Structure formats: C-alpha cells, structure tokens
Chain A
Amino acid sequence: MATDTLNPAGVTSTETNTTPFVGERRKVASHINQNEGLIFEKSSPGKKAYRLSPLDVPAVDAKALLGDLAREDVGMLPEVSEIEIIRHFTRLSTWNYAIDLGMYPLGSCTMKYNPRVNELVARLPGIAEAHPYQPESLSQGAMRVMWLLQNCLKEITGMDAITLQPAAGAHGEFTGILLVRAYHESKGNPRKKILIPDSAHGTNPATAAICGYQVQNLKSNSEGMVDLAELEKLVDEETAALMLTNPSTIGVFESEIHKIADVLHAKGALLYMDGANMNALVGKTRPGDFGVDVMHLNLHKTFSTPHGGGGPGSGPVSCKKILEPFLPTPVIVEKADGTLTFNYDRPQSVGRVRMFYGNYGMFVRALAYILANGPDGLRQTTEDAVLNANYIRKNLEDLYELPYKTATLHEVVFSDRRQARNGVKTGDIAKRLIDYGFHPYTVSFPMIVPGALMIEPTESESKEELDLFIDAMRQIAREADENPAIILSAPNATRVSRMDEVGAARKPVLRWKPDAAVAPASTENSALEPATAAKEY
C-alpha cells in the first residue's frame, strides 16, 4: 500500500503483526493545496497594485500644515501587485473550513446555514446604502425593518419590550444584567449576587462580575438540571437574578423552569435567560410564558445570520414590562400617524450600549429568515434541529459514553470516558475528525461533563451528511480501540499537523519578525524595510 495520507508516519501496532485499523475517509480526498507566506514577505519596494492619476490640484505641504504631527513614513505596508493580493487571499481562503463547505457541529455555537435569501435582501440598494445619519423622514423603510423584527422577536420570546442594540451574545448579557441592576436600584437596593449554574457558558459569570455582582455557583443535579432545593437555599433578598441557559448546555430543557421562576420572584429576584440555545424552542414554547424576565437572543445563531469571522453578531435583549423603562436609549416608537421615530427621552435608561442602533445588516438578514420561514417554517426548523441531534445521539450512544441520559433537544453531549482508557481524549478525537473532513465539535465544554464532546448539527444538515459524520465518528471510535496512535498524532491529512498548543501558551511569539535569510536587500527607503516595519508593529 502506498503511503496513506491518513497515516503518513506508517503507524503500526507493536504488539501484533497485523495492520491496525485505519478508517476509510468517505467525505474527503487529498487535493492540491498551495503554500502561502505572509503578505509582508511578498513585499518588494516600489511594487504597486494601483496607479493614481496625476495631481490636478495644488499640492499641500503636510509638514507646514501639521508640524511634528505629520508622519514621516507610513510604517510597513506590503508592496505587492493586484494579482498577488488576489492570489494571496484566495489561497488563504482555500485553507479555511466553513459552513458552506460542510457540517460544522460546534456544540452551543449553532453553526447553521446562512440562507442566500438573507444576502439577497441585505444587498437591495435601498437597504445596503441607507445611512444612519439620514433624517428619520427618509429612513422610514429602514426603521420599519427594525420595528417588524422587534415585533417578531417579542412574539417569539413572549416578551413585552426589546432593544436591538447589543452587538453579540455577551454584549446582550451585559445589557440584560444592566437592566436587572437598574431595576433593583430603582427599588432602592441593587442587591449583591447573581446565581449561575455550573453548566453555564463562561460569559455568564463574566457578565455578572463586570456588572458589579458576586457570582454564586449553583450545582446541577444528577440529570444536569437546576437543583430546585439547592436554589431555594441560596436565593435571598440580596440575590439580583439567576442567569440560566434553557435548554441547558447539555441540551436538556429545564422542566421545572416555572418553579425556578417562582422561587426567584418570591424573593424579588429576576430570571435572566441566556438565549444561546433558543433555536431549540422557537415556535414551541416562549420564555416569557415560563417566567423569564429578561433574555438575549443570538441572531447569528438562532436566526441564521453569519457567525464567527463572517459576522458581526447581534444580541437583542427582550424583557418584561417591568424592565422596559431601563432599556438602552434610543428606542423605536410608532407615532399616532403611523410613522416611526427614535425616542431619546428616557430618564431611567441605562444609556446607549452601541453606536447608532446596533448591527443593522444582521436585522435585515434575521427578518428575511423569519419571514421566509413563517411561523410553521420556524417551528419546523426547531423540530429538525432536535431530530438531527437525536439521530446522532442514537447512532453513537453505543460507542461513546452518554453522561446524562435525560432527553436532549438540539445538541448532544458525550464524554470521552471509554476512549480515554486508551489515552484518547476529546481533543484528540476532535482533531481526528478533521482528517475525515469535518469541523470539530466543541471540546471540553460544558464543564460538568469531564472530557465533553458537544455536538450540535443544527437543522441545516441532510440525513446524508449526518450519516457521513456518524460513520466518521464510528470509525474513530474503532481506531481508538485498535489504533490509538493514529488519533494521537492527528490531524494527519491537513496541510499543518498537530499544533503545539502548550508551547504556544507557555512561550507565545506575538510579533512577526522577518527571517534574516529571506529578507529583501536594503533599499534607499529604509522606512519600508521589513525590519523597521516589525518595530513599527
């Protein structure tokens, strides 16, 4: 057999003479993948990607105008031709993995497909070219988009009021807890602590701390849910709120959520819901109906706007009437004549949390998604997301340990307990999954599951893609039994093999320096030498 790209080192078992099991890659094959250096390394003095027209206005002496403030040189900017720029970034893009290339099962992140209709609508000239400084009279259409989206999101969450300003999930949390604080302050006591379950996203305790609260940890029960008796012990008159993710990070719906709300409300505390997993509830149940006072949504998760590097994100916060006076300023209101206006006269507001009105382009996409699906379509996406996650659970639970047997919704969390006996941990399995052509799942989270494999397929995946994923995971489980070495060295089929994560953390190299041997020869314009440039940076 020729050298297998999956097993380049020719890893064989030392205990037997038979060839150890190496899985068959059904989704990917090796293909040409060009090398690419940094664009700074391509720089050559004088190269240009453009040519300016001759100066046809009087020249201005910057030095005379600005004195010492005029900059002598522009620092290091790479000097390359247009086609070099195009090739550089196009090559880099081929190293990437994206939802448009395949399944992206990062648990908790909800990497669903970004429908093209969203992009079509967002590029309509009247929308794409609108400017936030246009007068309101000329912005009625743009404002109507926000108004409609607000109404849809209020309806979906069962809430009374909303702000679209926050720029992402953690920003939404921050805004939501500011509302909680302002509410308690208006009653004379901001209170001291916020309760957070041990299964929470790390952003929850960070949010509470940034808002000046002490964090009190709430242990999960054996089903991975909030322990109601424990909650009752901890809630007191100094408890500002409980921050709860529902369904939780192990994909389990808090079936006693209404009782949780009652326990909090009895002591004057509020219930904040982290809406990161709202894609498991849309069209099925509404947080406002089960006692939630304030929550954020992630438009870049639940409502299909781009996620990660393609963002930006958007984290609207919806709330009950009692919190409405504190919403960030401005809020949109409808006047008697049916036109829309921004209301800045909000004396109890926590203030502005984002320039203009938030990430408007995401509002357009989210609204397009909501209207294209309609109520029944949204309900269907929720059902499909839950079905897909449970299909994976059912097809892998004989090989991977399922720490919580509770019924799961949109994602499933396994542990690496069985594979760990052979030294194969969740991070190793994730890296091996890359060899099979899939983006890894979320590793080592949530913290309540040691060695977690957190898998969220979303509704976007077809049965065929899910079957390929399941097949890859099953082959990896067999490799873990019969040939752990090949997993421990993974990824083997990628252009860069396993990174030294520990070395990178312990001895980080934070600044690029040109390799002396390949640095271009010195030129008259020393300002453009890479060595000078590195200092600039």
Chain B
Amino acid sequence: MAYPASYRYTREHEWIKVEGDQGTVGITDYAQNSLGDIVFVDAPKVGATVEAGKVFGSVESVKAVSDLYSPVSGTVTAVNEELNAAPEKINSAAHDSWIIKVKLSKPAEVDALLNAADYEKFTSEETGH
C-alpha cells in the first residue's frame, strides 16, 4: 500500500492531510491492517479541542480497542458520521476514510511529523521484531 506523499504521519499511525489551516485526520493502512476488522470509531464532537500527541478518540476492532492520537493541536470542525454506520470503510480504504477535520492552532507542529517515506521505513522497523 502506497502512503500518499501529500500526507504527514505520526508514529502512532495516524495520517493528516493539511490544506491551509485545515487538517484532515485518519489512520493509516498499516494501522487498519494490524487492528483487523474495525467495528466502532469513537470520535470527539465538533468544537472539541485536540492536542498534538494526546488521545482524541479510539477505534475498536475485533481484537482490541486502540487510542487515537492527534497529530496536531486545534479545534474539531467536522466528524465523519459515515463511519458510525460503516466503520469497515477504514479497512477497505484507510487513506480515504477520514475521522475528524481540525482547524490547526499551531500549524508549525506539522513539520515535526513523518513524511511518507520515513513513515514507511518506521513501519518496516516496527514489524521487524
């Protein structure tokens, strides 16, 4: 699976697409693959504040519940309601299935995130065990 070069990534396996001061956040294909079939996405409400590196929600798969870590700080401007009824969309197209949109309060935080090549290298090291 190719990781879109226009996205940035966290070591906790979230992606973010930044356009101006708007960030769109989801989880990576690597994350959905290791989680297995996703059955529920617990996202914050519109207007909630998120903080870079802090938990903003969780995804539940048949195997486990895993925390979602925000790549950036800001305010939630939209939540992907579609995932309520069809969480499996993340399994079929992780990089097109966004979870929240965030208005960035500290756009400089994005620079600290991994680019696609570094993220791919990171995941290959993580499976290296």
Contact = CB atoms under 8 A, between A and B. Distances in A.
B1 interface: no
Interface of B: 34, 37, 39-40, 60, 62-64, 87-88, 126-127, 129
A212 interface: no
A404 B127 CA distance: 13
A415 B64 contact: no
A450 B62 contact: no
12 contacts: A403-B129, A415-B129, A444-B64, A447-B64, A449-B129, A450-B34, A450-B126, A450-B129, A501-B62, A502-B37, A505-B37, A506-B39
Interface in A487-520: 501-502, 505-506
B39 A505 contact: yes
Contact of A450 (B39, B60, B64, B127): B127
Contact of A506 (B63, B64, B88, B129): B88
Q: Is the interface of B mostly helix, strand, loop or mixed?
A: loop
Contacts of B63: 444
Contacts of B60: 505
Contact of B62 (A403, A449, A505): A505
Contacts of B88: 506
Contacts of B62: 501-502, 505
Contacts of B126: 450
Contacts of B129: 403-404, 415, 448-450
Nearest to B126: A450
Contacts of A501: 37, 62
Given A444-B64, A501-B62, A506 B34 contact: no
Interface residues of A, number: 12
A502 B63 CA distance: 10
A448 B129 CA distance: 9
Nearest to A224: B129
A404 B129 CA distance: 8
Given A415-B129, A505-B39, 6 more contacts: A444-B63, A501-B62, A502-B62, A506-B39, A506-B87, A506-B88
A301 to B, nearest CB: 22
Contacts of A415: 129
Contacts of B34: 450
Contact of A502 (B39, B64, B127): B39
Contacts of A449: 129
Interface string A377-419: 0000000000000000000000000011000000000010000
A505 B59 CA distance: 13
Contacts of B37: 501-502, 505
B54 to A, nearest CB: 11
A506 B126 CA distance: 29
Contacts of A404: 129
A449 B126 CA distance: 10
CB-based closest 8 A-B pairs: A505-B39, A502-B37, A403-B129, A501-B62, A506-B39, A444-B63, A505-B62, A502-B62
A189 to B, nearest CB: 23
B67 to A, nearest CB: 10
B32 to A, nearest CB: 13
A466 B39 CA distance: 37
Contacts of B87: 506
A448 B87 CA distance: 25
Residue of B63, B64, B87, B88 ringed by the most chain A CB atoms within 10 A: B63
A415 B127 CA distance: 11
Contacts of A450: 34, 126-127, 129
Residue of B88, B127, B129 ringed by the most chain A CB atoms within 10 A: B129
A404 B87 CA distance: 34
Interface string A445-482: 00111100000000000000000000000000000000
Contacts of B64: 444, 447
Nearest to A447: B64
Nearest to A401: B129
A417 to B, nearest CB: 8
B11 to A, nearest CB: 11
Interface in A412-457: 415, 444, 447-450
Nearest to B91: A502
A415 B129 CA distance: 9
Contacts of A448: 129
Contacts of A502: 37, 39, 62
A415 B128 CA distance: 11
Nearest to B60: A505
A202 B79 CA distance: 28
A448 B63 CA distance: 14
B55 to A, nearest CB: 10
A447 B67 CA distance: 13
